[in-house]
Amino acid sequence: MADVLAYLPYVVPALADKDQGADAHLAALETLCVALPYAYPDLLIAVDKVDCFVTRLPALVSATGADQGNMPVLAAQAIAGVVEQLPEWAESFEKNGAVQALRDRMLAVDNMELAEKRKARHGTIEQFLSYRQFLTGFCSWQCLLALKLICEECPHQCLRHGVAAAVLQFFDFVPTNEQKVALKIVAKIVEECDEADVPKAMDAAPALCNLLQSSDNTIQKSALSCLCMIASNAHGKAEHMDMLCELKVVDTAMRMLEKDGWKTIGDETLTGILGLLKNISSASAQAVKSLFDLGVCDLLRQMITYYSSSHSNSDKLQMLVELINQLMRPLETSAALKNAIVEQNSYLDQISSIVTLLIQVAKCGALSSVCYTCIVLIGNIVEVSTPAFLIKLQKTANLSSFLMCLLARKKRHVVFETLKLSKSLLKKQHQFFFESFDKEGVKHAIDAIQAQEKDRNSNHKLKMKNNMQEHCVCFNLDSDASSTDRCKIENNAILNLAGDIKKSFSVVKASNKSPYRLGCFTTFVKGYFAKLNGHTMTTPTQNLDRCRELSEVSRRLLSDKLPSTSTFVFAKSGSAKDLSDYLCNVAYLKPNLNNRQYLLERAKEVQYRLQKFAHLALEMSNESSVKPLEILVEKLLDSLHMSYDSFPVILSHHKQCTRESTMIPLRHSGIEDSESLHIKFVKARREKELQGYGGVLPIPISSKPDAIEADLWPNICSPRNRQGSSRLMFSYKGIQLKSSATIFESLVRLMNEGKSDITIDQSFWKEVHRISYKRNKSKKISSLSSSNARLSAVHEKLEQSLLKDPFFSAMFLGKLPGDVDESDPSYNLLFTLKILEGLNRFSYQLSMDEKIRLFAESCLRDLDDIKVTISPIPQHQFTSILLTSKLELQMQENLFEVGLVPSWCVYLVETCPFLFSFNARWKYFCLTLHRSFMGDDTSDPDSPNEEDEASDAPNEAANKTKKYKVTRGNILESAISMMAKHGSSAKTIEVAFEGEAGTGRGPTIEFYSTVSHELQRFGLGMWRGDNARKAEGETGFVHSSFGLFPQPWSSAVTSSRGIEFSDVVQKFKLLGHIVARAVLDGRILDISLSKAFYKIMLGQELDIYDIPSFDPELGKTVVEFQALVKRKKFLESSSETTSNPSADLSYKNVRLEDLCLDFTLPGNPGYELVPGGSDKMVTLDSLEEYVYLIVDATLKSGIAKQIEAFKSAFNEVFALKTLRMFNEEEMERILCGEHDAWASSKLADHIEFDHGYDAHSPPIVNFLEILREFGREEQRAFIQFSTGAPTLPLGGLASLNPKLTVVRKQCDGCVDGELPSVNTCRHFIKLPPYSSKEIMREKLKYALAEGLGSFHLS
């Protein structure tokens, strides 16, 4: 190396001497190129006359003539070497013509290469691979490298010399590595080009546009990025944007997005396309028209709908909204474009659909900034719209109701823009929108805002509060705005704007005869509930005319008036409270609930009211296909959304993180609270008994007052006063802190009172907060606690499960449970929604109970008439999109897992989980489950069958696993042993099978699936139907079309048919462990449990009406017997006589005694309901006892020990009660995965192809066709073969992680003789390239059959 560097002083003179021949120059260049990689900057600078490099090398690049040989190549290589060592010399090279020389040489080389390739088409391969072709290719490469290094230092100069267009000139004829370098050069050049240089950048646009259609994703992304930068730097110049439009950029971009292409391309590419369309449409009327012609609004509608429902793509929603904003801008400036759009009905329909979507996004947006942006856009659309279009829009999208909803919010920016929009609408069509505003409450809201603003100005404290800096969002849609720009909303802006609108109201008046006026509707509602109250105890036989009158009034209110009543009128009329008061019978709610008999009578009264209203609300009228309850729930949710500010989202300064909805439950990651509060606790001024606390106490953000009291109390109280509970009360600036909220939340909300969205800056964590404490001397037990205690005592005497449900308890007490502010506008709405959700959920029980009562009173003559004629509305109709969005946003907060959870989230998830979507609740469960872990990791680490293994994941503590080996032939015993050792461990359990190759995720999933399957075998005595075997020793599995339910065991029996009851209890304990671990570790079980069993898991009581859900035949008979019991009691208590009592009390015209029933459990003659039951016959007089004992044996005492074993085992892993936020159907999805395997049309979208295959490979085409032809059982077999479980996890095929991937299998011999193999952990299918589809199907089916039950095909 030293010898080579020694030649440098001699190289420079040789290059500097122009008179020396080409051979001398060539030798000098060769030496220089060899030496440069070993040189360093100081050595080069020290060489005499080294500045000749910058003058001579560019000239040598341009050298021509046959005697020059590879001199241009070496000169270009030397320039690259020098600039790499001395980047500051790049500018000197540029000034001496290096850029032009390299550009021209590259273009000349490319022309020669092109000529060579064209010649090769008619010549020979030897000619094509000639030395000349190799030399020119190498020269092109060296020129590119030199230009890349120079443009990094001199991008503007390179752009002006036309380098951007030059390097793309013959892009398709150069190797891939050169293509990528060329795109890097273009990207660097156009990244920050000046406005004056944009025309030069535009020279590269045609080539870049062509590259958008490249099949190489890297090239496509790079070209897209370059075009985005060019469009952005053009600063909205119409001529440049029109040119891009003429180059078909818009058409190409739309083709990439259409047919759900926007779902499959990467996020980076999608973001680039949307940004490019946004920039082009901002200045080009031609582009906007093209976009409308291509159906951009329909595409945006699909995308907004999709991203709104996922709740975790706020950035994409923001980009879509910004694109809509840019689409509207040219309409404001181009009259021709505006006329063209307005004259086309198809365009207007597209705009109308966009407005409807913007309204939906704004109403349900979790952040006010999103809402503000949508209002601005709607305002822009209104400005360019005709009055006729706006009138039509009001009728389809109800703009006025939307405005009313927004005017109820506290965010001043939102209120201001909403007022501006209201003023614009009045200006467009005053009379029409005045009447609409009056009906929807906008007029009332503006009056209230004006009065509120006046109060703020007159009240000094409120004025100061009004002047507090609210986060400004005025410039969210203005990319040119500066962060220092002053907010557009001045102190009196809202007051002045409201005043202007109110003045315009004086021009016209609404009709006093309008049926939608608040007073009219309120009077009608109160009259309706008065009629209901008077009718409550009226039976159909007593007053048929009155029943018909009530049904007619109900129809008028629920089916006629309610749909046309505005949300404002509905909310202000107090209808929600009137309804809940009626259903709860609040008028007769006595403060003293000591009388148990009174409680029982009151329960029956409330139940009767529910039955009446369920029939009215769930019966569909002939004129409508919508049930009244659907309309009522929609009105309640719309009214609830007007209380937007009651549910603030609290975000920290930490970056938000996107969380997948299908994540398995997180362990407590070991992440300590990254932030803590610094609290100085001070004694209240009038507190005499307690001592002061010295110093500052750091507390976790998840701490509640009760938790802090435990640490604080010993330091501030003398030993003799340390007894008792609830000893301290905490206050901040004189306001008492709620015990149900964390101290952190209480402080944040009090410090940000009046704000809808709360963002905590860094200073909050540094500040020391003062909280005062004093002794809580109140010994009063809350009336609610007392009432709950008495109600619990009554529960034992209540027969029906609905009377023990939390919703009924809330009704019974006339309030929502817990510490909740009853003065909040949302309270009555939440309470009523909770009641109606319970009514809907128990509609079958309510209806059946009423039918039995009608049969007892002889209104129904035949037992076959006891049928339910109403059905519940879908559960998802109770979901609040707004609250779901807010919860989703809150869960993206980085500190959510460690305690930054607003109390409203916790409260509503626990008491009103139906308000949130299943995906949101599942995500909440995953993020909060670690607080319910019951186990520790104290198991013996030296156990021979286990070993700890840390994952490579960043969060090592959260991903540690317990590995355990099991024996497939003795799997239940292995499972019992494993769960005894590690069932309560917080670590993830992984399983491997003895003697098999597989390990990791696949065998573990197979283990859970196999164990759950084995627990369904005949002969275990676990499930109903187990005793239905016909032959001793028969093998197989218990199957029930309605799901498995525990088989009752009599307390007098310890064994039956060779089965020990203790073994049955042990198996249920294993099931409890397996189910809990499956939920905790994200595993799938292959077991079909009944709906009733899931209800038991969720802590719900079962009653007689649950029996038909798992045993329809027995259930129907028992219910009919119950009806006979009720009729017998009614006849005995009735003064009326019947001509033939025995006929009335027969069972389908057969005397009960003639049925020859004994006191044994139907279907299980060995289970005696009473001692000697097989000898005791059922009579009419003993029928009530018989029914009671059947229900008790089937649902209670007969399965009590099994259920207790299941629950206790489950609770050893984590608290079973945490699952109560889900319903039975959702629990089945969580445990058993998705039953719908895949949609054939979407199959290719969720499978990846690699290592020799792509989506168009003939074997893959055959493979996908075979999968689409599979039946249900074949699909299950394929899923088990490829994943280890017969069903897919939550989210289906799309949620598999890692994705299902098919790769080409390398075969040593005959391909058609090979079998497919699989890696279940990575979801890899290794598929040989079979010669035909028939052979592939045969081999695949053979592998599915033989591969199940072992991992020998792994």
What is the rounded distance in angstroms from the CA atom of residue 541 to the CA atom of residue 176? 88
> Token match 């009419």: residue?
1180
The strand ranges marked E within 872-953 are 946-949
Q: Which residues contact 1016 (CB under 8 A, 6 or more apart)?
A: 1022, 1023, 1037, 1038, 1039, 1044, 1087
- Burial string for 490-515 (b: 16+ CB within 10 Å, else e) reads eeebbbebbeebeeebeeeebeeeee
What is the rounded distance in angstroms from the CA atom of residue 1318 to the CA atom of residue 1278? 11
Token pair listed for 833: 């929604």
Token pair listed for 194: 């000046």
Strands 1059-1060, 1055-1056: pairing is antiparallel
Q: Which residue type occupies 505?
A: F
601-607 own/partner pairs: CB under 8 Å, 24+ apart? 602/812, 603/794, 603/798, 603/803, 603/808, 603/812, 605/536, 606/808, 606/811, 606/812, 607/800, 607/802, 607/803, 607/808, 607/846, 607/849
List 154, 226, 405, 1321, catalytic entry:
1321
Cα(first)–Cα(last) distance of the chain, in Å? 53
CA distances from 1219 to 522, 669, 792, 944 (A): 40, 21, 22, 34
Bond before 698 cis per omega within 30 degrees: no
Nearest by Cα to 1184 from 1154, 1155, 1144, 1152: 1152
Q: Which residues contact 1347 (CB under 8 A, 6 or more apart)?
A: 1281, 1318, 1353
- Burial string for 669-702 (b: 16+ CB within 10 Å, else e) reads eeeebebbbebebebeeebeebeebeeebebbbb
> Token match 């809150």: residue?
890
> In 10 A of CB 1135, how many CB atoms?
4
The angle at the Cα of 1142, spanning 1137 to 1145, to the nearest 5 degrees, equals: 95
Radius of gyration over every alpha carbon of the chain, rounded to an integer in angstroms: 39
Token pair listed for 1107: 């029996």
What is the rounded distance in angstroms from the CA atom of residue 701 to the CA atom of residue 60? 70
Residues composing the chain: 1354
988 in helix, strand or coil?
strand
1321 is catalytic: yes
Nearest by Cα to 369 from 405, 322, 408: 322
Q: Are 1339 and 1333 in contact (CB under 8 A)?
A: no
The angle at the Cα of 512, spanning 509 to 517, to the nearest 5 degrees, equals: 100
> Token match 């156990």: residue?
943
CA distances from 568 to 403, 563, 641, 1162 (A): 11, 13, 11, 57
CA distances from 93 to 58, 99, 907 (A): 7, 8, 70
User: Would you call 1007 exposed, middle or buried from its count of C-beta atoms within 10 A (0-12, 13-18, 19+)?
Assistant: buried
Nearest by Cα to 258 from 298, 316, 305: 298
In 1233-1283, which residue ranges form alpha helices assigned H by DSSP? 1258-1269, 1272-1283
Catalytic residues: 1321
